[in-house]
Structure 1
Amino acid sequence: MFSRFKKQPSAAGEASPAFSISVLIAISALCFSSIIQASDIVGARVWRAPDNTRLVLDLNGAVEHSILTLQSPDRIVVDIKNGRLATASTLSSLQLSESPIKNIRYANKDKHDLRIVLDLKEKVKPRSFLLKADGELKDRLVIDLYDEGNGKRAVKTQQAKQSSGSRDIVVAIDAGHGGEDPGALGPNNLREKHVVLAIAKELEALLKKQPGYRPYLTRTGDYYIGLGQRPALARKQQADIFISIHADAFTNPQANGASVFALSQGGSSSTMAKYLAKTENRADLVGGVTLADHDDMLAGVLLDLSMTANRDASTKVGSKVLSNMGGVARLHSKRVGYAGFAVLKSADIPSILVETGFISNPGEASKLRTKSYQRKMAKAIYQGVDGYFQKYPPAGSLIAANKAGGSKRYTVVSGDTLSAIAHRYNVSQGALKSANNISGSQIRVGQRLTIPSS
């Protein structure tokens, strides 16, 4: 580089000192500019979702990149301008077995650039975008590889029906955060995304055991789904209710208590509700959603005008859930709160957001990490949902048919007692025993009980 510059003589036959200094300054500036524009890839992760695979590259600065699809063999080529790989293990240590990526290769391109080649096992549709540094998160290059067609793990719409012709009530269970977005962080590296997924799966298991319900998880593993996509998935399943499960965090570790929220089209019901909504609504910035995804949310946003009826239903089911959670945890508020949670913007589905506790509170965090407490919390949510639908069953559902017939069916779950079931359905223990030919007070998990009309 320096050899390109030659000393020019002055009128006196010597190099001009001023010109020499200017050249040195210019050369130094060029060298420094080259250094600061180079960006290292300092980390990488792979996330597998039902219909796509996400490759995330952590960078120590913004980059320019291009992406190209090639065939024979199938591969994706990613060129990063002035890019460098911090260490070889950054890419070689990635677990690719569940992804469509067979192998990752890399090499220098045109001396200054980095070329990364993704050798593929199957055809995919790639998309890439950049995320700016945000808080503790670095700049990131996100590469999404979408399965062609429906893919092996593609979600299929189901319309479950009983043999009687009555349909199941579809409960969409949304475990918040996931993948790139860990959610709130608690003591000893406890992550909200893992806690809420565990509770969601416990709730799913309870609903599966109860005739008349079909649970649907918006995410089944550790990957991120955009805030607008979550209610859209529930809508595709023709869900009767949407429940988004979270765990609070606050700057003050003393903050505690579980709570339930519904969507507010105006202001928030409290300062805490406003704070939580603002925190949760930033998930797309952390989890990685490009502006192109917002087109898919348009239909949901246009439905906001019809929110009034479903807000009433959301409040009713939220109150039932909150009441049952009060038997398991301290409540932050005894009333359903309201705030502008983006994930609740589905006008055609009653929707609630359940905050299971403050993961930033050491005492509540220690409970939330245990399987037993996760089951208790799931059961409280389940009992609230079931209590609501027993009172307001959707037309054509099995529960509506049972209610019209004067009796209901209930499957015993862990922790149930005859007295609790009788109280829940507003019948006497004697009537409950008589309807099921029970002489004592013993019942077993999985036992089917007939609930007589009250």
Structure 2
Amino acid sequence: MIRKGVGWILAFALLVVLFTYESPDRSSWMAWSLPLTGTVIAIDPGHGGKDGGAISSTGDVVEKEVTLAISMYLRDFLQQSGAFVIMTREEDKDLASPEADLAKRRKAEDIRNRVKLVNDSSPDLLVSIHVNSIPSPKWSGAQTFYSPTFKKSAEVSYLIQDEIKRVLGNTDRVPSKTNNVFLIREVNCPAVLVEVGFVSNTEEAKRLQSQEYQKAMANAIYQGILRQYSGEKVPMTP
């Protein structure tokens, strides 16, 4: 009888353990399985504050607003994949000091401060977002630019351009190597400049103003970054 009683007690105790046992917190291991965990990415929304950048012929599409909107969507995509994101700005302002009143001086100081902010943060990658504009309204299409200092810059540039073609389907442009863009040339990390379209083109300006298009553009940039960090081999370096 004693053995039988002990058996029932042990069985009951086992049931209590089974029903009260909590499995490990799923989020604790999911965080470490996110594709960009441990990656630091800087995003630079071009212009801001007194520097509006390019403006459409109708005056209602302003570069500084488009670049910030796309950058914020991109930030969210990257953070959801585990990346630590650094923004050069998250509101309508530039990085120049209040004393820099002359436009030319202010622009130069703003760019230098962006470079300093990025270099002080030591990111793995910088993505700078801008909008293109030229006198002729016939040109359109997003395009990536990169400095040849880092091989990874060319790889990311190629993959982002490829995703822009795939996701948006409205450009046949190819990545372009350049040493003439101060920001991506002077930072101490791989860097890509994405000109998301031509505000001087009436139809493209309308698209750039659309939240759906801004989000799609951010997604294309994000997918390109994700492909590079997944270890995908670039078939050819542009």
Structure 2 unmatched ranges of 5 or more: 1-30, 96-109, 233-238
1:252 to 1:163, Cα distance in 2 relative to 1, 3 A: closer
Give the aligned partner of residue 241 of structure 1: 125
When normalised by structure 1's length, the TM-score is 0.39
TM alignment of 1:259-408, pairs within 5 A: 259-263=143-147, 307=149, 310=150, 312-327=151-166, 328-331=168-171, 333-391=173-231
CA deviation map 1:362-414 (0-9, x unaligned): 0100000000000000000000011111117xxxxxxxxxxxxxxxxxxxxxx
Q: Is the 8 A contact 1:203 1:382 kept in 2?
A: yes
1:167 to 1:382, Cα distance in 2 relative to 1, 3 A: closer
Q: Distance in 1 between matches of 2:171 and 2:121?
A: 32
1:359 to 1:339, Cα distance in 2 relative to 1, 3 A: farther
1:380 to 1:167, Cα distance in 2 relative to 1, 3 A: closer
* TM-superposed deviation, 1:232: 1.9
Which is helix-richer, 1 or 2? Answer: 2
Give the aligned partner of residue 7 of structure 2: none
1:169 to 28, 31, 39: 39
Look up the equivalent residue of 1:186 and give its one-letter code: S
Look up the equivalent residue of 1:221 and give its one-letter code: E
Structure 1 unmatched ranges of 5 or more: 1-161, 265-306, 393-454
TM alignment of 1:156-235, pairs within 5 A: 168-189=38-59, 190-211=61-82, 213-225=83-95, 226-235=110-119
Q: Which protein has the larger Cα radius of gyration, Structure 1 or Structure 2?
A: 1
Q: Is the 8 A contact 2:179 2:185 kept in 1?
A: no
CA deviation map 1:245-272 (0-9, x unaligned): 00100010111111000126xxxxxxxx
Q: Distance in 1 between matches of 2:169 and 2:56?
A: 18
Q: Is the 8 A contact 1:231 1:242 kept in 2?
A: no
TM alignment of 1:73-112, pairs within 5 A: none
Give the aligned partner of residue 284 of structure 1: none
* TM-superposed deviation, 1:332: 5.5
When normalised by structure 2's length, the TM-score is 0.72
Q: Distance in 2 between matches of 1:324 and 1:348?
A: 25
User: What is the RMSD of the two structures over their aligned residues, measured on CA atoms?
Assistant: 2.0
* TM-superposed deviation, 1:217: 1.1
* TM-superposed deviation, 1:339: 4.1
Look up the equivalent residue of 2:128 and give its one-letter code: S
Q: Distance in 1 between matches of 2:45 and 2:230?
A: 24
1:390 to 1:346, Cα distance in 2 relative to 1, 3 A: farther
1:257 to 118, 123, 141: 141
Q: Is the 8 A contact 1:231 1:345 kept in 2?
A: no
Q: Is the 8 A contact 2:115 2:187 kept in 1?
A: no
Q: Is the 8 A contact 1:258 1:329 kept in 2?
A: no
1:346 to 1:229, Cα distance in 2 relative to 1, 3 A: same
Which is strand-richer, 1 or 2? Answer: 1
Identity value in percent: 30
Look up the equivalent residue of 2:81 and give its one-letter code: Q
CA deviation map 1:46-86 (0-9, x unaligned): xxxxxxxxxxxxxxxxxxxxxxxxxxxxxxxxxxxxxxxxx
